[in-house]
């Protein structure tokens, strides 16, 4: 493919191991570029269909799965989710720590609902984003990653009072399991991945041998590291899926088409519209702090906009700097993968790379160049 595009030029300056960039419209892929390596240690090239860890890009897929069950009356957006998930019943709010470092708690003012979970307003957090969550786990014992205990914590605030990025979508996945009696991977495969021909998308017990490796910059050079967000005791709805850029493009096109793709409907247009509506006003959504910058630096997609959040997506209320329309949907994955969905323009894009920490300036420059190509 051409090495003279703005995307290729940005990649040449970015010091990334490899990347795939796709631009789609409602009918298919309009532009594709594949650059660099899936593994710099053995020279394996990145391919269009290389399996990658999409991390928090998982959240949108799980959110659609939950909305399917809302449509069927098997989940309710505004009921107490503690009836399905005992760990979230009678929630407690962390108010601080005593002189000995013991967490101090009080009962929450209201119950947690599925809507709170889908909008990251439940009061939950992430240990790598929120220092108080890290301090809490330091006081009670750091749980094993991939266990239900790892996403069980007191709230930082009463449900509905703030927006804070969190483990909430892990609990959405567990709610799907509780409502259906199925493993999350089985439910999503049957009801989302297979209907959309996302045939390389799954929760996998282990990273496939030919998948892209996550890399870090060490001593001025890129090197792969052994890190995998899947394979825990439950299918992690917050970030456990491995997929490919073309598979994720199928999902983006489905949203652009109002819940349908190539004659197959997976969600009603009304539900897609509800997911695409800002649910958190007057709160501002989207800013992530950092308690562990080696994993993720502080991040804000549009620092100059009062961004909102739907049922699974960041929403920009004003035109983006690279062309996306107001009301577009977006989010990202911690290994520097990003997507956007612009229903007004009928365009979207998927950028996949595998680099830690999150918020890498070079990766964001590549993503911005991809978006600028779409609107040129």
The token pair that represents 334 in the structure block: 């911690």
Residue that the structure tokens 């949907």 belong to: 329
* Pair 117, 85: CB distance under 8 Å: no
Q: What is the DSSP code (8-state) at residue 264?
A: E
Q: How many CB atoms lie within 10 A of CB 6?
A: 16
- Burial (CB < 10 A; 0-12, 13-18, 19+), residue 195, is middle
- Is residue 59 annotated as part of the catalytic site, yes or no? yes
* Pair 69, 118: CB distance under 8 Å: no
Rounded to the nearest 10°, the torsion over CA 282, 285, 291, 295 is 180
DSSP string, 218-241: ETTEEEEE---S--SSS--TTT-E
* Pair 33, 23: CB distance under 8 Å: no
Which is it for strands 337-342 and 328-333: parallel, antiparallel or unpaired?
antiparallel
Q: Within 13 A of 54's CA, how many CA atoms are on the CB side?
A: 31
Q: Is 329 helix (H, G, I), strand (E, B) or coil?
A: strand
Q: Within 13 A of 364's CA, how many CA atoms are on the CB side?
A: 15
- Burial (CB < 10 A; 0-12, 13-18, 19+), residue 97, is middle
* Pair 19, 40: CB distance under 8 Å: no
- Is residue 165 annotated as part of the catalytic site, yes or no? yes
- Catalytic: which of 126, 136, 165, 339? 165
**Distance between CA atoms of residues 225 and 37, nearest Å:** 14
- Is residue 337 annotated as part of the catalytic site, yes or no? no
CA-based R_g, the chain, Å: 20
Which is it for strands 328-333 and 308-309: parallel, antiparallel or unpaired?
unpaired
Residues 6 or more apart whose CB falls under 8 angstroms from that of 118 comprise 63, 66, 77, 168, 169, 172, 279, 311, 312
**Active site positions, annotated:** 56, 59, 165
């Amino acid at each position: 493919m051409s090495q003279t595009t703005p995307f290729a030029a940005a990649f040449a300056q970015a010091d990334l191991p490899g990347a795939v960039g796709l631009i789609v419209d409602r009918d298919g892929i309009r532009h594709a570029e594949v650059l660099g390596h899936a593994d710099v240690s053995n020279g394996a090239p990145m391919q269009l269909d290389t399996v990658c860890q999409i991390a928090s890009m998982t959240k949108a897929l799980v959110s659609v799965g939950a909305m399917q069950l809302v449509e069927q009356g098997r989940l309710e957006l505004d009921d107490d989710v503690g009836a399905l998930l005992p760990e979230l019943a009678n929630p407690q709010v962390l108010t601080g720590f005593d002189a000995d470092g013991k967490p101090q708690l009080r009962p929450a003012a209201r119950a947690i609902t599925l809507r709170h979970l889908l909008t990251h307003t439940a009061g939950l957090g992430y240990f790598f984003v929120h220092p108080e969550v890290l301090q809490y786990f330091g006081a009670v014992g750091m749980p094993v990653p991939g266990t239900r205990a790892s996403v069980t914590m007191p709230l930082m605030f009463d449900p509905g009072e703030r927006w804070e990025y969190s483990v909430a979508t892990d609990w959405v996945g567990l709610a799907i399991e509780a409502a259906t009696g199925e493993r999350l991977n089985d439910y999503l495969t049957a009801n989302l991945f297979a209907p959309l021909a996302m045939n390389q998308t799954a929760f996998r017990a282990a990273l496939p041998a030919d998948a892209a490796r996550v890399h870090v910059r060490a001593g001025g050079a890129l090197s792969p590291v052994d890190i995998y967000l899947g394979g825990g005791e439950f299918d992690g709805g917050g970030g456990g899926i491995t997929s490919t850029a073309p598979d994720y493009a199928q999902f983006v096109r489905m949203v652009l088409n109002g819940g349908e793709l190539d004659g197959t409907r997976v969600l009603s247009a009304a539900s897609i519209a509800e997911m695409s509506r800002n649910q958190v006003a007057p709160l501002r959504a989207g800013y992530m702090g950092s308690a562990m910058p080696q994993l993720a630096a502080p991040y804000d997609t549009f620092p100059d906009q009062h961004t909102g959040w739907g049922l699974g997506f960041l929403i920009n209320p004003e035109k983006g700097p690279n062309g996306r329309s107001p009301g577009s949907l977006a989010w990202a994955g911690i290994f520097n993968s990003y997507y956007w969905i612009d229903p007004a323009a009928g365009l979207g894009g998927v950028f996949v790379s595998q680099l830690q920490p999150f918020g890498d300036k070079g990766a964001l420059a590549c993503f911005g160049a991809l978006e600028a190509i779409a609107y040129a």
